[in-house]
Every structure is written in C-alpha cells, then in structure tokens.
Amino acid sequence: MRVGFDFDGVIAYNPLRVLRMPAMAIRRLIMPNHQLRFPVPKEKTWRFLWNIAHETSFFPAYGFAELRKLLEEKKIEGYIVTGRYSFLEKSLHDWLKKHRVEGLFKEIRLNKKDEQPHLFKERMLQKLNLDYFVEDNWDIVNYLAHGSQQTANSNEQRTMNNEQKKQRTANNEERIANTEVHWIYNIIDRFQPYKHKHPHLKGFLERAIKRD
C-alpha cells in the first residue's frame, strides 16, 4: 500500500495550524473570487520568520508511533510529500533524523523549486500514483479532491447543476489517478463536511489503513 503524508500538521504536529482557516476566511472575504495562492517568502527576513514558524512543528503528531511501526514492518510504503520551500529542507531532514524515521520512507518529495504548494502536491500525486494521501490544509485538500476550477466561491460552481458537478469531480479525480485524499482537521475547521476526514494521524491509520 502506497501512502503519502504531508509533513507539518500530519507527521509533525504544529499548533499554529489552527490559525490557517481564519486567515484564509478573511482573505476570501476581501477577495471572494481570488484564485488559491500561498505566499512564497523571497527576502531573508521573511524566510527567517517563516523558518521560526515552522520550528513550532517540534514534536510528533498523535499516531506517530503507530506510523513508525507500520513503516518498520513494511506494512505500508510511505512517502513524504511536503509543500515546504527549499530553504526549509535542512530542518525537515534534521527532524526526521532526530525521530529516527528518515530512512523508513520510500521517498521524500520536498518543494525545492518553491512552487505553489497545492500545484506541487498535485504534480507529485500524479507521478507517485499513491493509494492514499494525507493532508491537513483544507484548501489543498479541496483543491486536490475537486480541482482548481471547483472552489467554494466560484461563480461557475454556483451555476452548475448536480450532474455537471459530479462530472467535474470525476474529471478532476483523474488528475491524481486513484489517490484517495484524506484530511486531518483541527478544532476550528472540524465542521467542514468531507468524506475522508480525521482528527489526527492515528485516526487515519485506524480507519483507512486497518480497513485494508
């Protein structure tokens, strides 16, 4: 079984992730039809602050021990697919070495060209042909599951009938082959409806992995 994992908020718990939904909601209010886009820090000062923010992912997520056991026993083939930018590569590998899991993953795909995270992950899922991918960012989950043109605030989405929506979803799911996208939600966005959602990594492993 080939399983891909985002890093921050999935493998490593990051308490700052609860701020993500309010920030995105405010942006949608200001720019309701704005295309999904994430900031890419270029200047040294911004990169320094970005690095500090990601250092809050300092302890393993709930379910990490179970994940390591599955990897050690080769019950799953694990991949890390993270939108972390190039300047965060060292801290990622340092974390994995510290927690003795770096060599357990089949591949580690990091966003070395500083692409938009959702586009990078979409491209990686197309290449890797995973059975499952686990992500904690709702906007990225929504993008991967429904495609760039099917967004909550899209005028086109509001005018589509149910059959057109189903066809759009089917067409977009082909983009990432047969990968089932699972979402790790947090306390703020937990009411967002989604078929494959879990409160933490352990919840995903218990429901999705063990059922197979």
Domains of the chain: which residue ranges? 2-209
pTM: 0.79
CA gap 31, 35 in Å, rounded: 9
CA gap 86, 48 in Å, rounded: 13
Name the token pair of 25.
């909601």
C-alpha angle 116/93/110, rounded to 5°? 20
| Beta strands 12-13 and 59-60, pairing class | antiparallel
CA gap 43, 168 in Å, rounded: 39
User: What's the number of CA atoms in the CB half-sphere (13 Å) around residue 12?
Assistant: 23
Cross-strand partners of 172: none
Band (pLDDT 50/70/90 cuts) for residue 158 is very low
For the segment(s) 2-209, the CATH number from 3.40.50.1000, 3.20.20.70, 3.40.50.620, 3.40.50.300 is: 3.40.50.1000
User: pLDDT of 26-59, one tens digit each?
Assistant: 555 554 556 788 888 887 777 667 666 656 667 8
Token pair 């409160």 is found at: 199
Of all residues in the chain, the percent with pLDDT exceeding 90 is 54
- Which range, of 18-22, 58-62, 106-110, 150-154, averages the lowest pLDDT? 150-154
